Amino acid sequence: MQNHHTKSNRLSHIAALGVMLVLNAGCGQSIFKSARKIDPASEAAVALEKQNPDGAISILNNALAGNPGNPKYLSILATAYAQRAGVDPLHLAISIGTKTSSTAALALASGSSSQFTAMFSLLPEATTQAITDIDLAISILNEQISSADRQPGDLFKTAIYMTASLVFHVKKLDSLGKGTLSTSDLASLSDADADAILNNLSSAITMLSASGVISGSSDTATAQAASALSQYSTQINAAPGTTNAEKLRNYLATSSTN
């Protein structure tokens, strides 16, 4: 009788476990799946690899709702917004250095200034959405992540996103989309926009230099991008004018016609 009773208890326990498994399966879950949670950062990274920034943004915003201020999530979220804007930081840094080097050589031969507008071709169309996304990426990295919580590469990304932003903001002035800026295009450049563009340029140069020092790396892309931006900054500052807007308009007018 005792063996029979023990056997009955075991069968009851097995049956109860079976019911639990069925119930869990009916809820679209299993006890094994619920115990193995997918890391949102990894899931978002996979979405970005598949060129699905919207999916990554959704994943990370959901994760941040339960874990606000997580620097890892925020860093990847900034990357997602930049990808949606059509900006790949490493590719853009390399392209800026390459484009500026070739343009500078031609400019030196012709005795003209380097063509800032040559960078227009490195970015997609300067739509309102693209500008909003890249500026949001900058805001996340600059304002939502403290300097102590910065992730590896955050300074570099911020600098390149700032560069993309200033190029977008100048490119949007090109009303005909021909890579040149007319007098009327330049007249639409406000003093506030000029200040923002030059502030981004200055900050990008500083951050690129700092990112190299922090990483202890002499990365070619970083060095070339920093050199290119410094070159543009020097040329803009040397342009005639008493205000940032005047200097930038005069520089861009020369850059567009040479």
Reading the chain (258 residues) residue by residue, the pLDDT tens digits are 555 455 445 444 444 433 343 334 444 454 444 445 789 999 999 999 999 999 999 999 999 999 999 999 999 999 999 999 999 998 998 888 776 655 554 444 444 445 788 889 999 999 999 999 999 999 999 999 999 999 989 999 999 999 999 999 999 999 988 888 889 999 999 999 999 999 999 999 999 888 765 554 457 778 888 888 898 999 999 999 999 999 999 999 887 665
pLDDT of residue 254: 80
- Domain assignment of residue 55, yes or no: no
pLDDT of residue 110: 42
- Domain assignment of residue 49, yes or no: no
Q: Tell me the C-alpha distance between 69 and 10, whole Å.
A: 49
pTM: 0.79
| Same domain, yes or no: 99 and 200 | yes
Residues 118-154 as b or e (16 or more Cβ within 10 Å = b): bbbebbeebeeebbebbbbbbebbbebbeeeebbeeb
| Same domain, yes or no: 123 and 28 | no
Q: Tell me the C-alpha distance between 12 and 5, whole Å.
A: 11
- Domain assignment of residue 68, yes or no: no
pLDDT of residue 16: 41
Q: What distance lies between CA 240 and its chain's CA centroid? A: 33
- Residues of the domain holding 252: 87-257
| Same domain, yes or no: 137 and 213 | yes
| Same domain, yes or no: 97 and 31 | no
Structurally, the chain folds into a number of domains equal to 2
- Domain assignment of residue 62, yes or no: no
| Same domain, yes or no: 181 and 241 | yes
pLDDT of residue 247: 94
| Same domain, yes or no: 114 and 196 | yes
- Domain assignment of residue 231, yes or no: yes
